[in-house]
Amino acid sequence: MLTKRQALLFFLIGTFLFSIIFIGLSFDTVRRGIPEKTHEENMTEAVVKGRVLWDKHNCMGCHTIMGEGAYYAPELTKVYQRRGPEFIKAVLMSEKPWAPRGRKMVAYGFSEEEANHMVEFLKWIGEADLNGFPPEPTFKKYLKN
């Protein structure tokens, strides 16, 4: 059993030690990890404009991207790889509301240029190294056999 003084010393040393480890790992992530994993060099003006459109139209109010956002509509982190640019553009440029599986998406009626910007943004997001996120659904392993 520890005395009060020993317990305090144990707490202070542990807190100091793990604080130093946390600060070191955080510094390493910001310095090296983020640029390597996000492919910052591929961020073009079109990608930035696509992000502005994403925020302007509050896409995160329904969709999830990189694990953040709402769960009403599909996760879009890898939508570029799953559906391709033509599908994304068709949905964004549609003049009529789109309702797959009973969930209604607003008809934004994007111009070709706006749709291209959004496609570039979603492509850039999909190319980021997210350590296996989103995970591949487990049922797919059974379909490969």
CB-based contact 63:75 (threshold 8 Å): yes
pLDDT tens sequence across 13-44: 999 999 999 999 998 888 876 777 777 788 89
CB atoms within 10 A of CB 121: 25
pLDDT tens sequence across 58-112: 999 999 998 889 988 888 999 999 999 999 999 999 988 888 777 888 888 999 9
pLDDT for position 106:
86
Q: Please say if the pLDDT value at position 114 is more than 90.
A: yes
Q: Please say if the pLDDT value at position 145 is more than 80.
A: no
Q: How many alpha carbons fall within 13 Å on the CB side of residue 110?
A: 20
pLDDT band (50, 70, 90) for residue 144: low
Mean pLDDT of the chain: 88
Q: Please say if the pLDDT value at position 122 is more than 60.
A: yes
Q: How far apart are CA 42 and CA 36, in angstroms?
A: 11
pLDDT for position 93:
93
H-state helical runs in the chain: 4-28, 34-38, 45-56, 79-83, 85-93, 112-127, 140-143
